[in-house]
Each structure stands twice: as C-alpha cells, then as structure tokens.
Amino acid sequence: MKIAISGKGGVGKTTIMALLAREFKKNGKEVLVIDADPSPHMAQTLGVSEKENITPIADMKELLAKRAEKTPGSPFYQLNPQVNDLLKDFMIEHDAYKLMVLGAIQTAEGGCACPENHVLRMILKKLLLTANQVVLLDMEAGVEHLGRGTIAGADHLLIVVIPSKSSIRTAQKVYKLAKDVGIPKISFVGNLIDDEEDKTFLSQGLGTTPIAFFPNSSAIRRSERTGEPIVAISDELNNAPSEVIKAL
Ligand SMILES: Nc1ncnc2c1ncn2[C@@H]1O[C@H](COP(=O)(O)OP(=O)(O)O)[C@@H](O)[C@H]1O
Ligand SMILES: [Mg+2]
C-alpha cells in the first residue's frame, strides 16, 4: 500500500504520518517513509538521530547521472533501473523504520522541480511492494504534486483537515484534484479536534465524516517543544491512528 498525505500547511501532515508509521509498525508492517518535503523533518519525528547519514536522492548526482538519461527537449529524466535496487542506496533504517529523503534536485537550468517530481512519480509508480510493506509519503503543503500528477501512483490519499473554514476549502480543492488525477481512494482525516462541535463542523463542512479525528494533544505539542520524536509519545490519541488504518 502506498499512502500519500496532503492538506494545508501546518495542519499536521508530518505528525500524522509519524503516528501512522508507528501504528503500521505495531501491526507488523514494514514501513518505508518517504520525505518529499523540500525542508524535510520527518527524520526528527521518527527519532532518526543519524540524519546526516541520509543521502537525499537529489544529492546522488553521480548515480542519477549514470542511471538517468535526459531526453532531448524534455525536462524529464528517464530512469529505467530496477527501482527497488536503486532505492536501497538512499534508505536509512532506524528502529525498524525505513526512511528516504527526496531533497531538491539542482538542475543546470536552476530551480526546476521537474526532475525531483519525476523521480517521485517513478518511485510511487514502479516501487514493487509485498503485502507486508507500506509506503508513507509525506509532502509539502500545496496542490503542486497533484497538479503535476506526481502522486498519481499512490493507492490512497489522506487529506488532513482541521476545524477551520480555510482548511476545509483547501481540503475540498485537493479532493477534486486527486479525483481528477485518478487516485483510487481518498479520505479525510480530522486533526486538532477539541470537542464534538469540531467534529460536527468538519463533517458538515466536508459533506462527509472524516475516517478519524486526531485530538488536539498536549503530548504532541510537548514533543515538538522538547524535540522528543512523535513516535515516542505515550498518548493514545483516542485511537485515531488505528482508526485510520482500519479504514484504509
Ligand atoms: N493533534 C495535534 N495536537 C497538537 N499539536 C499538533 C497536532 N498535530 C500537529 N500539531 C503541531 O502542529 C504543528 C504543525 O504540524 P506538522 O505535522 O508539522 O504540520 P504539516 O506537516 O502539515 O505542516 C507542529 O508544531 C505539531 O507539533
Ligand atoms: Mg510537514
């Protein structure tokens, strides 16, 4: 299963991905987390201390150059190796979590995000998984990945939404784009929920009930302040992580 996450900036995408990584691991799954945010901090939430040992895919210029051929006139890199083999070089394993960081590929033209998006699309489309493996893709905010079809290879998109009008508006925009891209399953996940009123506000605003509601948690806030990994918090969060996994 390949799960991507989207939603407005700061709604809790990275936090929820870390909590899902932990929950999948508890269920005996092999978890690969791909951090595709240009300012990645998934490592921190997973408690990966040897961050400097992670080679972002984007930095493996030599390998990319060897394996990639630029098609004349096209901004895309054609990568045709065995994707699974290629990716081994970019993974680091910590506490049974596998982590990969996409990074930002610098091109001669400068600034073009096309090659890295192409790499991401290729990874999602071609990565072969066994039934016991799960890929969690954390992304930056915004709809660019959907617009470019980068995450078209995901099986499931989670859209994180908090009880605010603007968050609901973004979520609905993301939903529509994801449908257009053809992602098979799309679900809303509520975050920063204080009470029943928040749940009702979200369900009515979205026109459907989210598959899970993550509480506004002092344990999460504390972990952000102390730098403790999210995966180390003891709050059960009203079973929201297991609710998500049940619904997938
Ligand atoms: N359920 C929650 N309860 C309390 N704080 C939260 C919760 N979810 C996220 N946060 C906090 O909100 C901030 C943004 O979360 P983050 O996961 O980085 O968002 P995103 O990845 O969507 O930008 C972080 O400081 C995080 O600790
Ligand atoms: Mg994030």
For each of the domains in the chain, give its residue range(s) and CATH number, in order of start: 2-247 (3.40.50.300)
The partner residues of 5 in beta bridges, in order of sequence, read 158
Q: Tell me the backbone φ, ψ of residue 100, rounded to 5 degrees.
A: -130, 140
What is the pTM (predicted TM-score) of this model?
Answer: 0.89
26 Cα–ligand 2 center, Å: 23
216 lines ligand 1 (CB under 6 A): yes
207 lines ligand 1 (CB under 6 A): no
Are the beta carbons of 188 and 244 closer than 8 angstroms?
Answer: no
Residue 77: the pLDDT is 46
21 Cα–ligand 2 center, Å: 14
Rounded mean pLDDT, 216-229: 95
pLDDT digits (tens, 9 = 90+) for 7-44: 998 999 999 999 999 999 999 999 999 998 877 788 88
159: left (phi over 0), alpha (psi -120 to 50) or beta: beta
Residue with tokens 């059960």: 236
Q: Cα separations (Å) of 154 from 62, 104, 157, 241?
A: 28, 21, 7, 19
Are the beta carbons of 134 and 33 closer than 8 angstroms?
Answer: no
44 lines ligand 1 (CB under 6 A): no
Q: How far apart are CA 161 and CA 93, in angstroms?
A: 30
- Give CA angle at 69 (66, 74), nearest 5°: 155
